[in-house]
Structure 1
Amino acid sequence: MKILRYPVSLMLGTLAACSSTPAPVDAGADVTATDVVTPTDVVTPTDVVTPTDVVTPTDVVTPTDVVTPTDVVTPTDVPAIDVVTPTDVPAIDVVTPTDVPAIDVVTPTDVVTTDVPVVPRCGTMGSPSWAIENPLPVDQPFTSIFAAGPNDIYLASSTAAAARRWNGTTFAPVGGGTGVWGASASDVIFTDPTGVRRGAGTTFTATALGGAFRAVHGRAANDVFAVGLGGAVRHWNGTTWETLTSGVTAELSVVFEVAPNDVWVGSRSGGEGASIPLLHYNGTAWQQFTTSMIFSGASFVTPPTAVWGSGPNDVYFCFPERPVTRWNGSAFEQILMADLPGGCSGVSGTSATDVWFVGRTTSNGYVHRYNGTAVTHPWPASSRHLQSVHAASSTLVAFGGQGGSFATWDGATFTERSGGYREEIHRVWVAPTGEVFAHGPDAIYFGECGRWSKAMGVPGDRGDIAGLDATHVWFGATGGVRRINGTPLTVGPLEPYGIGASTDNTYGIWAANPTTVFSAGTTRGVEGMPSRDWVRAWNGSSWRDITPTVPFGNRRVTGFSATEVFVSGQSGAVLRFNGTSWTPESIGVTDFVQDLIALPGNVLIALTGNARNSRRRSPAGVWSSAGWGPGASLSFQRGWGNAENDVYATRYSGSGTYLWRWNGTAWTEVSILSDYLDDVAGNAAGDITAVGNVGRVWRYGRRAP
């Protein structure tokens, strides 16, 4: 199947033929099959090679032929389908004018030191750095929204640094915010890890309140409640933030003020299975509502994620995986169970007859509107895992959710303001020339120069990816493999193994050369027969079974040549295949081997369940301590390395960030604003990509001139 490319706003953009290293052939259509271009030849866009031109190894293009930073591609140079409109690329996610063509330029005021900018990855200029490439504008959830106007919307996140402001064209960081509410367009309040921040636009003044705060809501500029960790409650009376005693010490996560003497607060008292999930303040005292008081007979409930009410006798609560709950002035009642069987994660409204919910349903999307009698589903196609909503008026409703998803409703039309894919991405491989190939349950993805596209019509899978170059790439699939075989961006149909079952799960895959490929996976168990792990080898025309006779791990297969292939064993063993048979090798510890990393120079690294016990295999086949000492509780999942002093690993468990780097002396956290990451890979040129859930893609490399 051909990988189709469309504008970035749909994240199906036509990809520029760029990479972090010079391409081996001219990207233009003028190069024919008779043109031989050597790897040392850098052909610039102005060098048109005619069919009769054969570039010999001595034809080296001089530095004067290289396009300098002054050669900026103008809008007329980019085909219409590639033009990125202001709504396609948020301002914070683009670099300064010297980094990108004029159509992508933003001002320096859009970047703050706490944020990692989004930049196209192409070329060899400047210092390499990490940046988010998908999804956009951030890969963190927007869990709270305040819409001051259609071109003035504030989005807070459970990860404070991801908070943004939308000005109708671009996103800009606001310095952090875990919750947001505004008395007016000129008086917006964010909660943050130290207290609150008040202001408008991107200028805010911080006020420390003695702790971390999570949510804020009020009725007027001089009547605002903020809640946070340790049962903290503060009330702004127009002069000072006064302290109120809630009576609990748990985290308070949501707040909604109906009136000064009618305030509802969501609590984590009792932990995730909160025994006291709700508190109510009557202006003088606090009342605690237990789980059984809200859900008759229940003893377990996750704390509420949102509260909104049109008045004292009409207050709605969203509890994850529980029915929508309403306070009618005297009791709690569960409602809308047929329309929202999974409950809601966000609620807001303009009146008792105009209430908006966000919550996942099987067939009706995430957006639901209640008129007091019936529910409609105005946006059934939504699949953005929405979590928050603010209904500012009948013609302005704003939505936020996982992976930085953000959309608005103007009374007639829903408009996506964020960009990118938000499906799971589990595996990644980087070509020597910088092209990136990623794989997830939903699709195969291709990235180049910071632009991402999807292999349309090609199903995804959970298998690994292996390749030799950008035109020879294998994707592990159910019942066989798919591959790009000579034609760029063309993923062929499933190639069955011809052995085993059509339902075989392929997990690991590695290519030694164009006609020697190894894969590892599992034949699913059926009634009366257990599942069976296997390893298979392809000789260019057919597959054969080479499964070891001893237990082994089927998640990774790697090696250095067709006669030096490795899979992980059990209880501290690695199995080596010499082209004919398997030999178990003890790595010297009994830890389970999480992953195997083949480094240049025929050095193999075994990442173990306890990362402190990771081991090194020398080119001579001798196992020893890798000399690595990460935290005792740290466990790695997948790894990749370019050298023994340049190894990356994604974190499976433990504390810290989800990406770590070994520099030859110590492990350090890679400082990126990311949640869970599944895999990491790179190439010898230093282009590194890490991928994970909600479609997140982080890349490290040099920027375009």
Structure 2
Amino acid sequence: MDPERLREHLGTEQPINPLPATPKNRHFTTLLIVLIILAACAGPGETPVVPPDFDWVWSNPLPQGARLESISGVSAGDIWAVGVHGAMIHYDGTQWSVESIGTSYRFNDVWAVGTNDVFAVGQGGTILHYDGTDWAEQNSGVTTMLWEVWGNSSNDVFAVGQGGTILHYDGTSWTQQPSGTPQNFYSLWGSSGSDVFAGGASVILHYDGSDWNDTSAPSAQGYTSLWGFSATDVFASGSNGNVFHYDGTSWTQMQTFDTRPIDDLWGSAPEDVFGVGADGAIRHYDGTAWTTQQSGGTSWLLGVWGSSGSDVYTVGNEGQVFHYDGTAWTTQSTGTTESLFGIWGFPTGDVFAVGGGLNARVVRLAGGVWVEQSVPPLARAWGVWGSSPNDVFAVGMSGDALHFDGTAWSSMATGVTDNLYDVWGTDGSNVYAVGGFPNSRIVRYDGSSWSTIPSPWGSELLGIWGFGPNDIFVSGGSGLIGHYDGTTWSTHTTGVSGMLWDVWGSGPSDVFAVGTGGTILHYDGATWSPQSSGTTSSLYSVFGHSATDVTAVGMHTVLHYDGAAWSPQEPITISTMHGLWGDANQAYYAVGTTGTILRRAECDGPTMACYDFDELPADGRWNLGEGFTTRGMQVAVVPFQWADGRWATSGSVRSDGNTLNPNNASADFQILCPVYEVTFQYLETGGNINVRVNGEHREADDINALNGQVIGGAQLNSISTIVDGDWRGAVSIVGDIEQFEIGGQELRIEGLCFRYQ
């Protein structure tokens, strides 16, 4: 929206004298233009809209959870990392953001020549190039896997891969160069365009500007990485833990670290070299000897890069990112990486996910951030259900059960030792848990204790769902579907013999069951009939919002049912998804292996959503790293930059029952649908302002100083006035907006509206 249109939108061309302050908020005098904008919004009670055409986004771990294979950068504030299933993230010096590049291909390596010149290579001969604005595919001329890319300049770039493939880019096109060998190449490094090394399964070749020649490296090493500082100072790592050094004439073995590979090397100087690999171990060379450093995690590390010896990053499995400041390694990823199997939530925004390995894990959603809960030392949890955020049940292995009362989790005695896989109830005094093996097991909680309910089946029970105390369905092994009418359990004929992992329905005559081999069954109130899923992958969970909006997830598979047919959705991870739940805003959450939590929402709905923050507590406070939910919108509290360039290490976002008050912190609104305009009203009584749009950060003395600026591809326009020494006014940010945050030191905002595309 341009300034003239903004004035038209506000209904005035000149600032209006403020109305008297109200006792509710003596600091925020509402302007008439504020009221006009609020009237233009659909109203403070309008249900917020959530994401586009069934887009799935990462909710845990953050910034994302797909395996990262490589990392490269231009500076401390411009770093890229890529990985499997199209994973790509970027660091701007403050935070990591997920980049959407529209492909699910695997990317094995990334190399940044400059801010506007970045290359990524991977599956099927794919080469992508970033020009500072967009990623675009380049024609490589090959379809083989490409493992590594390195460049001396924007018109002198090399890539290597399967079957002896060596490619060169001259700034216009890619051409093949003869390697003289059919073996795979996994590593690449050079000091100039006429001094390039390529490491293969048992050979290291050297390019002198004309030809590739063998350097007589020790054979059968599987050279996974190369790094160096000149033609006579090159390091190479092998797949069996060996490290070699080249002096311009010959290779010599430096060190052996057990038999596990060192997957990547990087160094700031010959006496400051890092190698990363299995189990989170990091090797470091100080010019004399190699020693082992601990990253603080156990994830397999696959890529390492730094801007200096005191600013080094490594990435790897589960999307983990670690940073070294010259003294110690710390994680830059958040969230559990333990596998999760069940999820349940409430309209308040409270969502719980359960799982674990040997021990139970419970995480709870708070403003877009999943926080691990303290639970008794029990075995893995499989299922979770609750009647309210203060009455939540989780069940798991060996008959274990947990209960959350709104404050703490406590263990419950169920009286059985069978595995319990799922839990559901009508209220807190009528809760059922099912499981067993080889025979079925049903236990019921009456508000005081658990007791065993006789069941007639010889197969384990895996799922449970109901519509009331007299209408409950269970699913299980050998194609089992059972039904409880309030008096007895009966068996339904399904016509299948495989596992039915889950059951859900929108009503008694619209029930779905999913299972092995892509099985989907539908019950119309009389009979069960098969539906075509289009997949043979096992499906582990099903949930929906209505008879025409149902989702099923499973082994690397996500399906959606529109009332007529099931269709596949493109997942953003290769994780197996085990659990599914949907909230009142038509969004879905799916949980799975390695801590994966995805969120998906539909963008077919209201075109605007507004937030006036009056439902937040009058004394609400959320510190850095925490978050909250307002009318379904998740908000994370993130770092704030002062005028001198320093970043606040403590700060909070507060509420007073009327406005939102960032104080030495920023509020990051978790936008899931494409937005074309953000509007809000503000009062600024001092300090600095931060605005971030689509990952681009700006700081200024006041919002009005940003008037007319383009931030992240969107233009910020403001109409502001100074009243009693304070800036007050309204802001419109127009453009394709996928990310938005606002922060201040003495800032209050209200009437925040998002207009969706």
Correspondence 1:272-351 to 2 at 5 A: 276=201, 280=205, 284=211, 293-294=219-220, 306-309=225-228, 315-317=235-237, 319=239, 322-326=240-244, 335-337=255-257, 342-351=260-269
SS at match of 1:463: strand
Q: Which residue of 1 aligns with 2:432?
A: 518
Give the whole-Å Cα distance in 1 for the aligned partners of 2:252 and 2:457: 60
- Which of 570, 573, 581 is the aligned partner of 1:681? 581
- Which of 379, 386, 411 is the aligned partner of 2:301? 386
* Alpha-carbon distance change, 456 to 247 in structure 1, aligned in 2, over 3 angstroms: farther
Correspondence 1:472-483 to 2 at 5 A: 472-478=391-397, 479-483=399-403
* Alpha-carbon distance change, 47 to 288 in structure 1, aligned in 2, over 3 angstroms: farther
Q: Is residue 2:198 matched to residue 1:264?
A: yes
Asked if the contact 1:569–1:593 (Cα under 8 Å) also holds between the matched residues in 2, the reply is yes
Report how far residue 443 of structure 1 moved. Answer: 2.4
* Alpha-carbon distance change, 251 to 579 in structure 1, aligned in 2, over 3 angstroms: farther
Asked if the contact 2:374–2:409 (Cα under 8 Å) also holds between the matched residues in 1, the reply is no
For structure 2, which runs of at least 5 residues remain unmatched after alignment? 1-21, 25-33, 603-631, 634-752
Q: Percent of aligned positions with the same letter in both sequences?
A: 23
Give the whole-Å Cα distance in 2 for the aligned partners of 1:425 and 1:70: 43
Report how far residue 450 of structure 1 moved. Answer: 2.5
Give the whole-Å Cα distance in 2 for the aligned partners of 1:172 and 1:552: 44
Q: Deviations over 1:524-560 (max 9, x none)?
A: xxxxxxx776332223323233354532233323333
Q: Which amino acid aligns with 1:125?
A: P
* Alpha-carbon distance change, 149 to 685 in structure 1, aligned in 2, over 3 angstroms: closer
SS at match of 1:494: strand
Q: Which residue of 2 aligns with 1:84?
A: none
Give the whole-Å Cα distance in 2 for the aligned partners of 1:509 and 1:247: 62
Q: Which residue of 1 aligns with 2:688?
A: none
Report how far residue 447 of structure 1 moved. Answer: 1.5
Q: Which amino acid aligns with 2:140?
A: L
Q: Is residue 2:377 matched to residue 1:450?
A: no
Q: Is residue 2:76 matched to residue 1:159?
A: no
Q: Which amino acid aligns with 2:522?
A: R
Q: Which residue of 1 aligns with 2:546?
A: 643
* Alpha-carbon distance change, 47 to 400 in structure 1, aligned in 2, over 3 angstroms: farther
Q: Which residue of 2 aligns with 1:698?
A: 598
- Which of 274, 286, 307 is the aligned partner of 1:371? 286
Q: Which residue of 2 aligns with 1:624?
A: 529
* Alpha-carbon distance change, 360 to 234 in structure 1, aligned in 2, over 3 angstroms: closer
Q: Which residue of 2 aligns with 1:356?
A: 274
Asked if the contact 1:587–1:624 (Cα under 8 Å) also holds between the matched residues in 2, the reply is yes
* Alpha-carbon distance change, 149 to 595 in structure 1, aligned in 2, over 3 angstroms: same
Correspondence 1:75-94 to 2 at 5 A: none
Q: Deviations over 1:592-639 (max 9, x none)?
A: 32322233235332213232x52222334x2223xx323253432221
Correspondence 1:122-141 to 2 at 5 A: 124-126=47-49, 128-129=51-52, 130=55, 131-141=57-67
Report how far residue 569 of structure 1 moved. Answer: 4.3
Q: Deviations over 1:642-695 (max 9, x none)?
A: 333221111326xxxx32111112222334523312221114552321122343
Give the whole-Å Cα distance in 1 for the aligned partners of 2:306 and 2:552: 43
SS at match of 1:155: strand
* Alpha-carbon distance change, 574 to 230 in structure 1, aligned in 2, over 3 angstroms: farther
SS at match of 2:443: strand
Give the whole-Å Cα distance in 2 for the aligned partners of 1:614 and 1:185: 49
Report how far residue 456 of structure 1 moved. Answer: 3.3
* Alpha-carbon distance change, 700 to 241 in structure 1, aligned in 2, over 3 angstroms: closer
| Equivalent pairs, count | 551
* Alpha-carbon distance change, 445 to 238 in structure 1, aligned in 2, over 3 angstroms: closer
Asked if the contact 2:162–2:184 (Cα under 8 Å) also holds between the matched residues in 1, the reply is yes
SS at match of 1:535: strand
Q: Which residue of 2 aligns with 1:470?
A: 389
* Alpha-carbon distance change, 432 to 261 in structure 1, aligned in 2, over 3 angstroms: closer
Greater strand share, 1 or 2?
A: 2
Q: Deviations over 1:261-309 (max 9, x none)?
A: 652245xxxxxxxxx576645664577999x9526xxxxxxx7654435
Asked if the contact 2:476–2:501 (Cα under 8 Å) also holds between the matched residues in 1, the reply is no
Report how far residue 480 of structure 1 moved. Answer: 2.5
Give the whole-Å Cα distance in 2 for the aligned partners of 1:174 and 1:631: 27
Report how far residue 587 of structure 1 moved. Answer: 0.3
Correspondence 1:17-32 to 2 at 5 A: none
Q: Which amino acid aligns with 2:559?
A: W
Asked if the contact 2:336–2:372 (Cα under 8 Å) also holds between the matched residues in 1, the reply is no
SS at match of 2:461: coil
Q: Which amino acid aligns with 2:511?
A: L
* Alpha-carbon distance change, 330 to 553 in structure 1, aligned in 2, over 3 angstroms: farther
Q: Which residue of 2 aligns with 1:615?
A: 521
In the superposition, the TM-score normalised over structure 1's length comes to: 0.67
* Alpha-carbon distance change, 583 to 197 in structure 1, aligned in 2, over 3 angstroms: closer
Asked if the contact 1:294–1:332 (Cα under 8 Å) also holds between the matched residues in 2, the reply is no
Q: Is residue 2:561 matched to residue 1:670?
A: no
SS at match of 1:143: strand
Give the whole-Å Cα distance in 2 for the aligned partners of 1:234 and 1:164: 26
SS at match of 2:68: coil
Q: Which residue of 2 aligns with 1:54?
A: none
Give the whole-Å Cα distance in 1 for the aligned partners of 2:315 and 2:447: 49
For structure 1, which runs of at least 5 residues remain unmatched after alignment? 1-45, 49-66, 72-97, 100-121, 267-275, 296-302, 524-530
SS at match of 1:464: strand
Asked if the contact 1:552–1:567 (Cα under 8 Å) also holds between the matched residues in 2, the reply is no
Give the whole-Å Cα distance in 2 for the aligned partners of 1:313 and 1:545: 71
Asked if the contact 1:639–1:647 (Cα under 8 Å) also holds between the matched residues in 2, the reply is yes
Q: Deviations over 1:412-441 (max 9, x none)?
A: 454544444433322211224442111121
Q: Is residue 2:93 matched to residue 1:173?
A: no
- Which of 204, 209, 216 is the aligned partner of 2:149? 216
Asked if the contact 2:375–2:410 (Cα under 8 Å) also holds between the matched residues in 1, the reply is no
* Alpha-carbon distance change, 500 to 408 in structure 1, aligned in 2, over 3 angstroms: closer
In the superposition, the TM-score normalised over structure 2's length comes to: 0.63
Q: Is residue 2:490 matched to residue 1:567?
A: no
Give the whole-Å Cα distance in 1 for the aligned partners of 2:324 and 2:274: 11
Give the whole-Å Cα distance in 2 for the aligned partners of 1:149 and 1:466: 47
Asked if the contact 1:346–1:358 (Cα under 8 Å) also holds between the matched residues in 2, the reply is yes
Asked if the contact 1:480–1:496 (Cα under 8 Å) also holds between the matched residues in 2, the reply is yes
Q: Which residue of 2 aligns with 1:399?
A: 314
Q: Which residue of 1 aligns with 2:714?
A: none
Report how far residue 174 of structure 1 moved. Answer: 8.2
Q: Which residue of 1 aligns with 2:416?
A: 500
* Alpha-carbon distance change, 563 to 457 in structure 1, aligned in 2, over 3 angstroms: closer
Q: Which amino acid aligns with 1:366?
A: A
